[in-house]
């Protein structure tokens, strides 16, 4: 969340930066809300001061009881204080509600543009991709031939956009999660966490999922409590740092978790209806880092390399692109996507997004640290997927498919799967 003073002080520059990402900032309306809050705060404070003075005078009568008129005046003033405090809460709430809906400011280095088509390619890695698409290598078709996907059963269980894998397919998914967690905890220095899959509204608000994206979330009630299924482990992992007495020497924090993720995919119907690219429930290994502002870019580049290392270890053809301002996520100030080549559709598709959120999430969630000179300051949060299990399986099936119908897996996975090939019919060797 933004500090309203900073936004208003930035003035036209804040308007310009937010316009780059398609958000129309109404500075006059924001200034009016701030003025209303300030006025309400001043009025409430003045009445509290007056009530304190009168109450003290009322109890200061020595040897005689205060008059009924004095008692009534204090009672009336106490009512006015309650009304003023309610007005203060209302004014503050309206300002906070407006601030919570304003996205992060993009960095100047973020390229112009509104869509993923305007992303800037940074580099490529892995084998050179084929020029033309091969529909026979689409992962849904490969999975069907291998007998490891049971799409119809998933539909009967839960409806569209759900997935069932079996045998070597299920083992491959489990193996991938273990491989990725081992890579990040032993080589990249992350601490693994097991986190709740249901979180509170405040937790969702802290990372920017609420209030703007409520329609994309799955909500439920547990007794009297309202809880949300997590759309990504970024939500609980980032909030683990909230409210902690952090010092500069405690940073950076590096956290990882493997969790299911739940998304309604509102507005995406008709897109990627075949296969596992866009499901209501999927699994992912997530990375989160918390650092000081002066080291943010260093940690961003480090996280990109950590995600890219996963793809290199798996021998997958991929590329790194920088997203334009208009395609940034709500909380991000700069984002790099890693895209994997899918021969079945003849296109690069996102498999990881690595984002620097600046102090935006930290202000919302209350993630602060003590600087070395004793000041209390918001930290910088970063997040990235490394990697989503389903999309990685899709890439492995499509890039590893062979003319005889089998799929060859990368060497790095063999110790985790116990097999190197999946053959038609679901046998392995």
Query: Residue 165 catalytic?
Result: no
Q: Which of 355, 391, 398, 406 is catalytic?
A: 391
- Taking alpha carbons only, the member of 336, 255, 329, 248 closest to residue 289 is 255
pLDDT tens per residue across span 274-295: 899 999 999 999 999 999 999 9
Determine whether 350 is an active site residue: yes
**Which tops the pLDDT comparison, 68 or 27?**
27
3-class DSSP string for 106-118: CCCCCCCCCCHHH
353 has catalytic annotation: yes
Question: Does position 398 have pLDDT exceeding 70, yes or no?
Answer: yes
Asked whether the beta carbons of 248 and 273 are under 8 A apart, the reply is no
Residue 72: per-residue pLDDT: 86
pLDDT of residue 412: 98
Question: Using 50, 70 and 90 to split pLDDT, how confident is the model at 248?
Answer: very high
Distance CA 18, CA 333 (A): 11
Portions of the chain given CATH number 1.10.287.40: 4-100
List the catalytic residue out of 353, 355, 385, 406: 353
Buried b / exposed e across 333-355, counting CB within 10 Å, b at 16+? bbbbbbbbbbbbbeebbbbbbbb
What is the reported pLDDT for 55?
82
Question: What does the mean pLDDT of the chain come to?
Answer: 94
Distance of alpha carbon 420 from alpha carbon 136, whole angstroms: 21
Buried b (16+ CB within 10 A) or exposed e, 73-103: ebeebeeebeebbebbeebbeebeebbeebb
Looking at the chain, which residues constitute the CATH 3.30.930.10 domain(s)? Answer: 116-422
User: Among 21, 137, 161, 263, which one carries the catalytic annotation?
Assistant: 263
User: What's the pLDDT tens digit per position in 336-362?
Assistant: 999 999 999 999 999 999 999 999 999
Q: What is the pLDDT of residue 54?
A: 83
Extract the tokens encoding 417: 């799967």
Class of domain 4-100: mainly alpha
Contact 148, 166 (CB under 8 A): yes
Q: Which of 214, 350, 370, 421 is catalytic?
A: 350
- Per-residue pLDDT reduced to its tens digit, 80-106: 999 999 999 999 999 999 999 999 999
Give every CB contact of residue 349 below 8 A, 6+ residues apart in sequence.
277, 339, 340, 342, 391
Catalytic annotation, pick one of 80, 144, 278, 370: 278
Asked if 145 is an active-site residue, the reply is: no
pLDDT the model gives residue 186: 98
pLDDT (tens digit, 9 = 90+) per residue, 133-185?
Answer: 898 999 999 999 999 999 999 999 999 999 999 999 999 999 999 999 999 99
pLDDT at 316 over 90: yes
Lowest mean pLDDT among 50-64, 97-111, 222-236: 50-64
Residue 278 is a catalytic residue: yes
Q: Give the model's pLDDT for residue 394.
A: 97
The pLDDT value recorded for residue 60 is 62
Q: What is the pLDDT of residues 208-230, one digit of tens each?
A: 999 999 999 999 999 999 999 99
pLDDT of the residue at 31? 95
The bridge status of strand 198-199 relative to strand 120-125 is unpaired
Of 385, 352, 349, the C-alpha closest to 116 is: 349
Q: How confident is the model at residue 67 (pLDDT cuts 50, 70, 90)?
A: confident
pLDDT of residue 41: 95
pLDDT in tens, 356-381: 999 999 999 999 999 999 999 999 99
Pick the CATH number of 116-422 from 3.40.50.1860, 2.120.10.80, 3.40.50.1000, 3.30.930.10: 3.30.930.10
């Amino acid at each position: 969340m933004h500090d309203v003073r900073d936004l208003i002080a930035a003035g036209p520059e804040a308007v310009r930066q937010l316009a780059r990402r398609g958000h129309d900032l109404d500075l006059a309306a924001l200034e009016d809300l701030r003025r209303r809050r300030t006025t309400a705060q001043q009025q409430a404070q003045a009445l509290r001061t007056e009530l304190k003075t009168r109450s003290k005078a009322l109890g200061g009568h020595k040897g005689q009881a205060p008059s009924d008129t004095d008692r009534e005046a204090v009672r009336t003033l106490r009512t006015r204080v309650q009304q003023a405090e309610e007005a203060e809460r209302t004014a503050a709430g309206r300002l906070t509600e407006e601030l919570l809906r304003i996205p992060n400011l993009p960095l100047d280095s973020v390229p112009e543009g509104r869509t993923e088509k305007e992303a800037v390619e940074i580099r490529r890695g892995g084998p050179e991709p084929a020029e033309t698409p091969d529909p026979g290598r689409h992962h849904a078709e490969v999975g069907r031939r291998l007998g490891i996907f049971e799409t119809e059963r998933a539909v009967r269980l839960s409806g569209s956009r759900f997935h069932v894998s079996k045998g070597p397919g299920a083992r491959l998914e489990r193996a991938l999660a273990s491989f990725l967690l081992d890579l990040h905890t032993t080589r990249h220095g992350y601490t693994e966490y097991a986190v709740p899959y249901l979180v509170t509204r405040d937790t969702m608000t802290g990372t920017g999922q609420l209030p703007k994206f409520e329609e994309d979330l799955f909500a439920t009630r547990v007794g009297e409590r309202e809880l949300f299924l997590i759309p990504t482990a970024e939500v609980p992992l980032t909030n683990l740092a909230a409210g902690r007495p952090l010092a500069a020497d405690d940073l950076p924090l590096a956290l990882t978790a493997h969790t299911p993720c739940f998304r309604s995919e509102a507005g995406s119907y008709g897109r990627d209806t075949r296969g596992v690219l866009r499901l209501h429930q999927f699994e992912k290994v997530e990375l989160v880092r918390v650092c000081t502002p002066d080291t943010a870019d260093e940690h961003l580049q480090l996280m990109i390399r950590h995600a890219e290392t996963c793809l290199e270890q798996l021998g997958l053809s991929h590329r790194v692109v920088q997203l334009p301002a208009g395609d940034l996520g709500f909380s991000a100030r700069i984002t790099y996507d890693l895209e994997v080549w899918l021969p079945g559709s003849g296109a690069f598709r996102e498999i990881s997004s690595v984002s620097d959120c600046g102090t935006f999430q930290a202000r919302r969630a209350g993630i602060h640290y003590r600087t070395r000179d004793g000041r209390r300051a918001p930290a910088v949060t970063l997040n990235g997927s490394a990697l989503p299990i389903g999309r990685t399986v899709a890439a492995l099936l499509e890039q590893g498919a062979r003319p005889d119908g089998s799929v060859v897996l990368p060497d790095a996975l063999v110790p985790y799967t116990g097999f190197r090939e999946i053959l038609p019919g679901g046998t392995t060797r």
